[in-house]
Each structure stands twice: as C-alpha cells, then as structure tokens.
Structure 1
Amino acid sequence: MTTTGERPQFSDGTAPKDVLPPSLLFIDGTWRESGDGRTRAVENPATETELTAVPLATAQDLDDALAAAAAGFRRWRTASAWDRSDALRRFAQAIRADADRFALVMTLEQGKPLAQSRGEVLASADQFDWYADEARRIYGRSVDGHDTGTRILVRREPIGPVAAFAAWNFPSLLTARKIAPALAAGCSIVVMAPIEAPLSTLLFAEVAEKAELPAGVLNVVTGEPADVSRHLIASDVIRKVSLTGSVPVGVQLAGLAAQGMKATSMELGGHAPVLVFPDTDARRAAAICAQGKFRNGGQVCIAASRFLVHESVADQFTEVFVEETRKLRLGDGRDPATDVGPLTTAGRRAAIAGLVEDAVALGATLEHGGGAPEEYETGYYFTPTVLTGVRADMRVMQEEPFGPIAPIATFATFDEAVSIANATPYGLGGFVFTDDLTTAFRASEELEVGMVGVNHLTIATAEAPFGGVKRSGHGREGGSEGIDGYTVTKYVSMRLGGLS
C-alpha cells in the first residue's frame, strides 16, 4: 500500500496465492478443474482487476456432484446426532481460527470493509455453532392410539440431498445458513457458489476437509447460474432447493422445483420500511439509521430502505441523517478507515444511478451524493445518497434498491405510516423507532413482514428465524425453525401383538 495525501492507495487488487482458496470445483472430497477447462474471472470491485478465475462446471461435473451427494447422503444420514454435532463444531472452530484470512478474501472479491467482512465470517461460524446444538435436538414424539394395542410414533428424518444457491452480497453468511442446518439434519448438499464472489464459499470446502467431513456430504461448484440451477434442480437426486436471491430468480427456481415436487425455501428480496414515530428521539434514530443503512454499501436484503418519518420530527431526522451520511468515508475495503466500499458489480452501480435519476426527475430533492465519486478512476464506487420529497410513484419507493440510497418520506398518522409501509409486494423486514410500548406492539404486529426490529437495525442472528412473507419468500433460516425445512415428518403406526 502506498499513501497519496490523506487517502491510502493500494498498488493493485490482487492477493498472495496462499490467501485465496483453490480456484477449483470441490466434488466428492476432491478438488478438480471443470471437464472442459472453461473458467470465469473473479474481479476485485475496488480496482477492477482480476483476482483469479474459477471453473465453469460442465453437465458431467454436475452429474458427478449429484452422484457424490447421493452417496454422501447415504453415509451422513446414518451418522449419530452427536457425530454430526461434533463435525459442525469443528467447522465453527476452523472458521474462527482463520477469520482474518477469510475476511480478506471476502473484501477482495466482494468489496465490503474488512471489519464488516470479519464480522460476517464470525457470524458464519455462529451458524455452525448453533446448529451443532440443534443437531441433537431434532425431536419426534409418541402419541397414544385409540386403543392400548396401538402405538403412534412421529419421527423427523433428513429430507435428502439439497441444492443450495446464495447471493453474492453476503457470500459467507448466506451459504453458512444453508450448509449448517442441512448438515445438522443429516442431509448432503451441493452448493453453487455465487459467480460474482465465489471464493468465500470455496473456503467452506477447505473447512470441510479440516473438519474431516465425509466425502460427498458437502460439494461446491461454480458455473453459469442458469445452467447450474436448471441441471441440479432437474435431478431426481435433489429433494430440497434453498435459495437466497432476488424475487425474479426465486420465481424461476421455485417453478423448476415445482416440476419435480421438490421442497423449497426462498429468502428473497426486501424493501424494508423504517417507521419513525414522534415519541422517539428523532436525532438518535437518524444517527442509528444512517450508520446502519450503508453497511455493505446498502447491498443487504433486509437493509432499511424506505424511511417514513412523522412530519413533526422529519426536519430533525433529515438534518442528522444527512450529517452522519456526509461523515462516511468511501474507499477500498482494505483501508481500515473505510466505512463504505465499492458496490460489487458495475450493473449494481448503474441500477442505483437509474433510481436516483428517476426520483430527481419526478421531483425528489437530492440532499447528498447521487453518483460516482470523481476521485476514483476505477472501482464500482457510488457515493452514499440521501433523497427527500420522495413519493410512492417513484421507482425508489417500489423497487428493491439494494445499494447506498436512502429515500426519506413523511407521514401524519399511524395508519398512514403502516399503509405506506405495506404498499409493496415485499415483506422481508421492517423497523420501528418509538418509545411508546403500545406503538411498538401495534406497529410490529401490523407490518406485513417476517421480521421487525424495534429501535435498532441489527436483527439478524443465528438463534432467531430469518425470512419473509409475500414475494419476499417462504421458509426460515436460523433459530430452531431453520432446521425444519431440511427434515420430513414420518408417521409410524405400530400394532402390538396380543393387545386390543
């Protein structure tokens, strides 16, 4: 790293080869190239330089992964709950032991600041720790029959091999949310690493080796998303499909899964409203919201993305929100002083610019930001942006922004706030700022979302269920509920001889 003025400059966006995981497919416990040798570059979004290139799996590669998962399932489903728990605990320990390296890999491929990357890595380890315990708590039950000679047993058994797909914005945590409960339940899994940021997922293959996971239980492939998803989901081997991604991709994959009557869990997009009521400290709420909104460059499915503020405190809220936003430092995620890194792709930056242009053209006021910073000649940077005077007919209020853009609107009554908040097809998360207990309960109950945070934005945690309603999907990840989608219920009716 060299320094020019006050802003650190990095010579390039590459990394020592021993930092990155193997740029290979991981199938049946073995690292291998694709069958035809094709690859796709992985880019550092801060510098637009190539880090490495990962294989594009062929149909035969995918068939091999499916065969490995089928064999792995036969072995893993018979492992005791205690053995599965031990393996998951080893997973968590191996991740924590190498957290700094994992964080650097994530920052290099995805762009977020190192501190945020490290936090995500440790949160991923938490998933494995949590499900190490849940593996031993998959309970069935016995039920008395109509007569003394009948015994009714209810068992929960692993659903079978899983095909898992996760987005690039949290390339470690989103994948961990799928691998951990699948392994805890006794399932094998084929994970398609997000092609934009695949290395963090490939690191889990390294961990599988260290944790001495049986071959075939965890398989990681890279490739063209549409080709891989179609091939895996169509296979009779796969019994369950799990996706974290956009609504359009979720609709497509759910349709493919329906053709084979496969179980699905879909954690899809969101457009989380933040309701700021007049009984709260608006200035404190604004500081919390500004600091939380731009985490990971706003590329967060549950990110606060529509700020609905009571008209009596809107000026205070906006003043502090803009002030806090101006303090945020944009830069390469490897710089410890960076608060907001680049967006992960050029397409994401273009999409955000389009939302800003639409809002301003329709009368919104640009309070801060609005475009790419002039000081960066390379990298997918976009200045954290604040808009006021937004209306419901603007795209930024209807489409998932998934970037560093914060629209602020006002409301006059409780009912109006809830009505605006629920007026989108999304229902992932919502947030409420109030010091009144009645308002907190009413708002959290009336918001049409799967998760609500009251007086804070950091609600995702391993021990709580994560998921949405409406077009934001179905199923839950995390908490004791997270393992449900990886099990099936079997009922056994047993007639005892000689009894009536």
Structure 2
Amino acid sequence: MTERHGHYIDGSWREPSGGEYFASRNPATLETLYEAARGDRADIDAAVDAARRAFDRPSWRALSATKRGKLLRRLGDLVAEHAEELARLESLDNGKLLREMRGQLHSLPEYLYYYGGLADKIEGAQIPTSSIEMLNYTQREPLGVVGAITPWNSPLTLTTAKLAPALAAGNTVVIKPSEHTSYTILRFAQLAAEAGFPDGVINVVTGFGPEAGAALVDHPDIAKISFTGSTRTGSAIAASAAARFIGCTLELGGKSPNIVFDDANIANAAMGVVAGIYAAAGQTCIAGSRVFAHRSVYDELLERVADRARSIVIGDPLQDATELGPLAFGDQLEKVESYVHLGVDEGATLHAGGGRPQVDLPGYFFEPTVLTDVTNDMRVVREEIFGPVAAIMPFDTEDEVVALANDTEFGLAAGVWTQNLSRAHRMARRLDAGTIWINTYRAMSPMSPRQGFKNSGVGIEHGIESMHEYTRLKSVWVNTDEAPVADPFVLRS
C-alpha cells in the first residue's frame, strides 16, 4: 500500500482540509513513492496560525539565543545520524545521484551548526549622539512568521538555507515544499521535533503553488517570504510582498557564463564545464549553460567536453557507477527536449546528445547535450532550460566576452578559467553576477553569501549577511537626564 503523508502543523500530522492527496513518482522508475496532502488556503491558515501562536509563546519567544543555537546544533546532529536515509529518500524523490545526495547530506549539518553558532552573535550597537545625557542603541529582533517556498532540485539544502537563519534569529516558519519533492521536508520536520523545537515553530504544508503557495504568499500574518524558483513566480511574489510592505528573499533563475581563456588548463576547464552543466542533470539555477571558449582553444575544449558528454553513464541514480540520472518529472523532460529542437530550428548544430537515451528504466532521461553554431541572441542561449544542455561559443578578446557574458537578464553566477592572476581579478570585477568562480565551478559553503543580480533575485542567502534578512532593526533612545525639560518644541539629539 502506498504511503500517505499529511501536513505537519503545530507538532502533529493533519489530514488536508479538502481531503485530497496527490502522488509523487520516482522519476527513474515512474513508480509511485507516496501520496502527500493537497494543501489549500484552510491548511495554510492553520499552519500560519500555529506559527503565530508559537512565536508568541514563552517556550520559543523567551528562549535565549544561545538555547536556540543549541537546538539547531542538535538538529544538525540528527541530520548527520540520518544522512543516508535522507540522501536515499531525496534521490528516490527527484532522481539526483545518490552519491551526490550523500555529499549534500553529509555537508548539510554544517549549515545548522553554522547558524546555531550565529544565533547568539546577533548584536546591536550603541550610537554616539550629540548629548551625553541621551543614550541611543539598536537591537535586532525576529520578524515573526516566515513563509518558505522551496524547489524540487535540492529540497533539503535549499530549505535549510532558509530555515536555519530564520530560526536562529527567533522566527517561526511555514514551509511549502515543491509538490515534486515533499518527502524529505516532512522527515526533516520530524527530526526538528525530536531535536526539541517547540510545537508550531516549524510547520509544513504540502501541495501546489497556485493553491497552497499562493495562499502562503498572500497571508496577512506572514512577515516575510523566502522563495527559490523561477523568475516569473518570483516576480509575482515580489509584487505581492511589496503591496503589503513585507520583505522577500528571492533566489531565481540563471543563465550563467562559463568562460575559458587561452591560457587556461584546458583539461581542468573542460571538467569544470562538464561539472557546471551536467552535474545534477543541469537542474540547478547556477548551471554554467553558456560556455565561452577563446577561439584558439575552442576546438580542443569542445571536443573534450563533447567526448566526456558522450561517455557519461546514464541510468539508475541509486547506482554508484551512474553519472547522470533522470530529470525530475515529465514536464521538465518535455521542456528540455523542446528547447533542443528549438535550438536546432534556430540554426544551432547538435554536436552531442540531444535525445532520449536507451536506458533499462522507463524514467525521464535525457542525454547530455552540446550545441554549437549558436549566438547569444538565440532563445536557447538566453532562456533558462534547466537541463543538461550546453551552448558553446567562441570569443576573441576579453572585452568581447565580458560584453557577451553580461548580455543577459540574469546574474546569478559565472565561471572564469585562466592562469593570469590579474585577469582573474579583473574578470571578477567586470562580470555582472553575484557569485564568481575562478578555476572551479559549483563551490558552495554556508559561510559564503549568495546573491542574485538583475532578474536572478533579491536578497542574500548563506553567510552572516543572511541573518539580517530575517531580523528587523529597532533604535532605542533613553534620556538619562533627570532635569526638567526646558523646551518641549525643540528636537532632541
């Protein structure tokens, strides 16, 4: 019998108010993994109400920052203890390689340890004033109830990047995970309860964006929305948040350039290109999908990348030998396939891949693909595909490639491959992206802040800076002078 999971609200499992459930399938085998509750506005209302009450209860509101940090570290310990279980669940749910998910899950506790350590480091300041009798200081306070809407490509990692700083700052949270990957988020909520988080501090409502997601975004008791997903949805969330004067953190789409200069170590650069676009089957917002190679090394880089693309082992993501698993769901497979056809129609040459491979599984598999004879104005180069499709283009000068790389509506990440130290730092300054990798790609740490430029987002995730995303600043003035007020109509300072 198929497992069935309800919402996690106020420390207990709840059936959906509408009584409906939806199926989640293994994208490699197409077998039904489980059924999750189909949330609606009533379920969101219940979760937000629980989070609001938990925020006001002494069991959370009066808990010291140091004790909040201890809870996060305890949760980190539990995630570490259950890393294999969580990695396998996530691989079954979204099709990513088990060995990649093992790596993510073994590093995930570091996010919880890091923010657990920051919980009691949120400091205010004493502000100098023109009067020695006037004391002015600032303090940072939690916002209230945070709504977190998370994607399907790295559910636990991207949820934790929101949850950990929000909780460290003293907020409570309602999470709406992707309808494609709810399982591990529900399990994570169970571990949080085991760690000792009070009921209602962490709530999970599963369901679809237009129903549960929209209700969460529009809820009047939500103090902030943190969203990772498409630019189109992010724009709608930003408009809703602006209308209600609440904050939002948005990590959105990308079409990141990966630039290889003529003095680069070409073997390493080729592996960096492969890692940038074929890891996770290209289903990552930071995918290096636009590859620019200096004309003098273009042919060599192209053949290295294409040869490696053709030899990538496609198959069951649970097998250690597999290098590329399926796309996460059927619509995504059709989207990727349609973009490849569009690219060819636009004049691109299919240099490698481009179709559905022969695999002993019925899932949503697509070959690692290389497109050449492309230009920066083609839709296949300008629009986010979110699949294993690399467009490789030559360039001649540094100024030319900077202009090409920056000629995009996105600005999430960029890669640079060069052994020229001056050029490396120069490119880091000139490229219009929030993260620049030099002679590497897809490096990440909870300590390093991430911000999207242009249409790639608003606000900061990771790092100390992200703590300010989940707090508000209060300025307190204290008059220590007991003398009578001389003139009530004079502004004090």
TM norm structure 2: 0.95
Q: How does 1:195-206 map to 2 (within 5 A)?
A: 195-206=179-190
Number of the residue aligned with 2:13? 31
Alignment partner of 1:318 is 2:297 = no
Cα distance, 1:377 vs. partner?
5.9
Number of the residue aligned with 1:390? 374
Number of the residue aligned with 1:331? 315
Number of the residue aligned with 1:66? 48
Instruction: Provide the rounded CA distance (Å) in 1 between the counterparts of 2:384 and 2:367.
Output: 18
Q: Is the CA contact 1:193–1:202 (under 8 Å) kept in the aligned structure 2?
A: no
Number of the residue aligned with 2:130? 146
Greater CA deviation, 87-96 or 366-375?
Answer: 366-375
Alignment partner of 1:43 is 2:25 = yes
Q: Is the CA contact 1:291–1:324 (under 8 Å) kept in the aligned structure 2?
A: no
Residue by residue over 1:93-120, the C-alpha shift from the partner in whole angstroms, topping out at 9 and shown as x without a partner, is 0001000000110011100110111122
Residue by residue over 1:163-186, the C-alpha shift from the partner in whole angstroms, topping out at 9 and shown as x without a partner, is 110110111111111110000000
3-state DSSP class of the match of 2:174? strand
Number of the residue aligned with 1:171? 155
Q: Which amino acid aligns with 1:115?
A: R
3-state DSSP class of the match of 1:313? helix
Q: Is the CA contact 1:188–1:217 (under 8 Å) kept in the aligned structure 2?
A: yes
Q: Which amino acid aligns with 2:188?
A: F
Number of the residue aligned with 1:82? 66
Alignment partner of 1:267 is 2:251 = yes
Q: How does 1:87-102 map to 2 (within 5 A)?
A: 87-102=71-86
Instruction: Provide the rounded CA distance (Å) in 2 between the counterparts of 1:435 and 1:401.
Output: 31
Instruction: Provide the rounded CA distance (Å) in 2 between the counterparts of 1:253 and 1:140.
Output: 30
Number of the residue aligned with 1:305? 289
Residue by residue over 1:127-161, the C-alpha shift from the partner in whole angstroms, topping out at 9 and shown as x without a partner, is 11110011111011001211110001011111111
Q: Which amino acid aligns with 2:313?
A: R
Instruction: Provide the rounded CA distance (Å) in 2 between the counterparts of 1:168 and 1:49.
Output: 18
Q: Which amino acid aligns with 2:113?
A: D
3-state DSSP class of the match of 1:285? helix
3-state DSSP class of the match of 2:167? helix
Q: How does 1:471-486 map to 2 (within 5 A)?
A: 471-486=455-470
Q: Which amino acid aligns with 2:31?
A: T
Instruction: Provide the rounded CA distance (Å) in 2 between the counterparts of 1:186 and 1:417.
Output: 45
TM norm structure 1: 0.94
Instruction: Provide the rounded CA distance (Å) in 2 between the counterparts of 1:392 and 1:430.
Output: 16
Alignment partner of 1:136 is 2:110 = no
3-state DSSP class of the match of 2:465? helix
Number of the residue aligned with 1:221? 205
Percent pairwise identity: 37
Number of the residue aligned with 1:440? 424
Number of the residue aligned with 2:444? 460
Residue by residue over 1:224-264, the C-alpha shift from the partner in whole angstroms, topping out at 9 and shown as x without a partner, is 21122222222221100000000001011111212211111
Q: How does 1:245-394 map to 2 (within 5 A)?
A: 245-376=229-360, 378-394=362-378
Instruction: Provide the rounded CA distance (Å) in 2 between the counterparts of 1:303 and 1:130.
Output: 26
Number of the residue aligned with 1:113? 97
Q: Is the CA contact 1:322–1:386 (under 8 Å) kept in the aligned structure 2?
A: yes
Q: Which amino acid aligns with 1:184?
A: A
Q: Which amino acid aligns with 2:22?
A: R
CA RMSD of aligned residues (A): 1.5
Number of the residue aligned with 2:219? 235
Instruction: Provide the rounded CA distance (Å) in 1 between the counterparts of 2:379 and 2:466.
Output: 33
Q: Which amino acid aligns with 1:281?
A: N
3-state DSSP class of the match of 2:136? strand
3-state DSSP class of the match of 2:225? strand
Q: Which amino acid aligns with 1:33?
A: E
3-state DSSP class of the match of 1:190? strand
Aligned residues: 482
Alignment partner of 1:53 is 2:35 = yes
Cα distance, 1:334 vs. partner?
1.1
3-state DSSP class of the match of 2:5? coil
Instruction: Provide the rounded CA distance (Å) in 1 between the counterparts of 2:342 and 2:19.
Output: 43
Q: Is the CA contact 2:178–2:208 (under 8 Å) kept in the aligned structure 1?
A: no
Cα distance, 1:492 vs. partner?
0.5
Number of the residue aligned with 2:478? 494
Instruction: Provide the rounded CA distance (Å) in 2 between the counterparts of 1:343 and 1:460.
Output: 23
Residue by residue over 1:10-40, the C-alpha shift from the partner in whole angstroms, topping out at 9 and shown as x without a partner, is xxxx99x6xxxx7121000111211232001
Number of the residue aligned with 1:7? none
Instruction: Provide the rounded CA distance (Å) in 1 between the counterparts of 2:187 and 2:279.
Output: 23
Number of the residue aligned with 1:8? none
Number of the residue aligned with 1:404? 388
Q: Which amino acid aligns with 1:433?
A: W
Residue by residue over 1:177-211, the C-alpha shift from the partner in whole angstroms, topping out at 9 and shown as x without a partner, is 11100000000000001101111211211111111
Instruction: Provide the rounded CA distance (Å) in 1 between the counterparts of 2:79 and 2:158.
Output: 15
Residue ranges of structure 2 left out of the alignment (5+ in a row): 486-493
Cα distance, 1:367 vs. partner?
1.6
Greater CA deviation, 318-327 or 438-447?
Answer: 318-327
Q: How does 1:8-19 map to 2 (within 5 A)?
A: none
Q: Is the CA contact 2:257–2:405 (under 8 Å) kept in the aligned structure 1?
A: yes
Instruction: Provide the rounded CA distance (Å) in 2 between the counterparts of 1:47 and 1:35.
Output: 31
Q: Is the CA contact 2:40–2:215 (under 8 Å) kept in the aligned structure 1?
A: no
Instruction: Provide the rounded CA distance (Å) in 2 between the counterparts of 1:377 and 1:336.
Output: 16
Greater CA deviation, 239-248 or 257-266?
Answer: 257-266
3-state DSSP class of the match of 1:382? coil
